A and B are shown apart, each in its own frame.
Chain A
Amino acid sequence: MKRVLATFGRRYGDGPIHLLGLLGCFAFAGYVVSRVVTVPHHWQIGLYFVVALVANDLVIYPLFTLGDRLLRAGRRPAPAPAGDGRRVPWVNHVRVPVVLSAVLLMVSFPVVLRLAPDTYRAATGLAPTPFLGRWLVITGALFAASALAYGARVALAARAGRAGSAAGRRG
């Protein structure tokens, strides 16, 4: 029995419970698919499923990474000397508002970008006009707040630097 299990493990790559569990998962998923194919336009549901999967791995993620690499490439290569306000790293002061703004767009993009003004009006009786302006104002406020925080950090670092060098001269 042990030898059978060992051979199974070598050939399969894991224990029999692993196999049984996953087969159960696929059997259930197969049942769900057998129901899906009975609804109208089911192939479109499948298409959304596959496109979402591929888009995340091969489009959204690479774009995100590329953007972040560009951002980091723009950084000062060697740290400025201590006491210089420019020593305060600024990368996260760009990242934070960009990420927050992007997440907010992601959860509301159809109304912000007015992708479906007719169905929005048919459901609500209103035009989806205010959302783009609101999102832009929120994004602006996020960048402004981040810039203010950066300015405050630079000022604090510069003051600490002056205090440090003054102490150095005295000593």
Chain B
Amino acid sequence: MKLPAPPVTSRSFRSPIRGPWLTSVLGSVLLVGIPLEFVTGLVSYAAYNPRLPHNDPTPAHGALNFYLFDWTSAPSWLFQLNEGVHVIGGLALTPVVLAKLWSVMPKFFEWPPLPSPAKALERASLALLVGGILLQLGTGILNIDYFYDWSFSFYDAHFFGAWLFMAGFVAHVVLKLPVMVRSLRSRRLRDELATPLAETRPEPPDEHGLVPVDPAEPTVSRRGALALVAASSAAVVVLTAGESIGGPARTVALLAPRGRSYGGGPTDFQINKPAASAGIDRSKTGAGYRLVVRAADRTRSLTRSDLLALPQSTQRLPIACVEGWATTQTWTGVRLVDLAALVGGEGHHTLEVDSLEVHGAYGHTTIDRAEATDPRSLLALRVNGADLSLDHGYPARLIVPALPGVHNTKWVSGLTFQVA
């Protein structure tokens, strides 16, 4: 039985610049960009040290944590760089992905849709590819803007979405790489960049059905279309990257959700979850505050004055968030190694951290050896010469180089050194 053709088929598409060359140029950008996103995503998960107690944001990972490695505390900007590349890079790739989808749109309306079992399977793998990338871009953008229009965990969706997408991506690259290389060789980029609108002609008819059978008169050159995609990515980077880079760049990050000022002064840097949202009980942060430090069977209880009386260390270290923003400040406080020594916990140890916070997934975390024994790791009491503000974690907060921001626990109430 022959089905009647739908009103829109691949023959309805008329853009004279669609063709394998244009698709391949966009594809080659994604062939670099997507693996970078995937690798930085994997690294991001590893940075949480998910094999330690309390730390795993995706406990249902199954065998997909096979690659995990012990995270490191040096260089201190490692997590900042990784997240900046992942988040700002993902935003910058968004227009490239949309342009790529536009360039292959006739393929989605091919008629008949499934001419052979081979094509049917290939289309199913494309569903993983297209659904996967849109899920990743969508959940990523909604997460950095705090728009949780769902009940599932962002970490679950973005983690498993990445693996589903990569299944489709690897299949697509393996199947299409030869076509991409051939298509890229069919025209010279340099010549194409020198071709104005008046001389823009459709690519020769192709077996993929991208070049229109009935092309419209061109209204934009190929170089113009590519320039528009590049300009879109550049605009996104200029208007958002400042929240990750910090410094003067922060002032032009007009559309970055976390590029904003808190009104000046020594504590004018990004707050992640103010005290009110964390359910901080102020009666526990005043004179009644005690930090309990433990190792094996030894326990010390310290007031904030006790902590200030201990040798102080000053470090310039970043807080970097998985959402891509970061801020580097000058912190003063007690070194974690000195606190460990107070209770005989020095040496190789992990560190369990408790917070006064009651609302949130990060009230209890575990810091791995490399970070807990780094001499720069602090229990900070002051920042930029002033006492911590309550929203920045007063009376005391953790500052550990290269650790995900949420593990730099605020309102620390307990430190337990686990000697191996």
Q: A: which residues have CB within 8 A of B? A: 11-14, 18-19, 21-23, 25-26, 28-29, 31-36, 38-42, 44-45, 48-50, 52-53, 55-57, 61, 64, 72, 75, 89, 91-92, 95-96, 99-100, 103-104, 106-112, 115-116, 119-120, 122-126, 128, 130-131, 134-135, 138
Q: Are B273 and A123 in contact (CB under 8 A)?
A: yes
Closest residue of B by beta carbon distance from A36:
B160
- Give A106 to B85 CA distance when docked, in angstroms: 19
Q: Is the CB of B167 within 8 A of A95?
A: no
Distance between B37 CB and nearest chain A CB, rounded to angstroms: 15
- Chain B's nearest CB lies how many Å from the CB of A97? 11
Query: For B60, B116, B152, which residue has the most chain A Cβ atoms within 10 angstroms?
Result: B152
- A56 close to B134 (CB less than 8 A): yes
Contact of A130 among B95, B147, B240, B260 (CB under 8 A): B260
Task: State the majority secondary structure of interface residues on B.
Answer: helix
The A-B contact count (CB < 8 A) is: 216
- Which of B123-131, B328-336, B376-384 faces chain A? B123-131
Q: Is B146 an interface residue (CB 8 A)?
A: yes
Whether a CB of chain A sits under 8 angstroms from the CB of B139 is yes
Contact with B232, one of A99, A110, A119 (Cβ below 8 angstroms): A99
With A25-B170, A61-B102, A119-B146 in contact, is A131–B130 under 8 Å at CB? Answer: no
Chain A interface: which of B43-51, B251-259, B341-349? B251-259
Q: Chain B contacts of A115 at CB under 8 A?
A: 145, 147, 149
Interface size counted on chain B using CB atoms at 8 A:
80
Task: Name the A residues within 8 Å of B168 (CB-CB).
Answer: 25, 29
8 residue pairs A–B, Cβ–Cβ below 8 Å? A25-B170, A39-B153, A42-B152, A44-B151, A56-B130, A100-B228, A103-B236, A138-B254
Measured between beta carbons, the chain A residues less than 8 angstroms from B98 are 103
Contacts of B128 in A (CB 8 A): 25, 29
B56 within 8 A of A: no
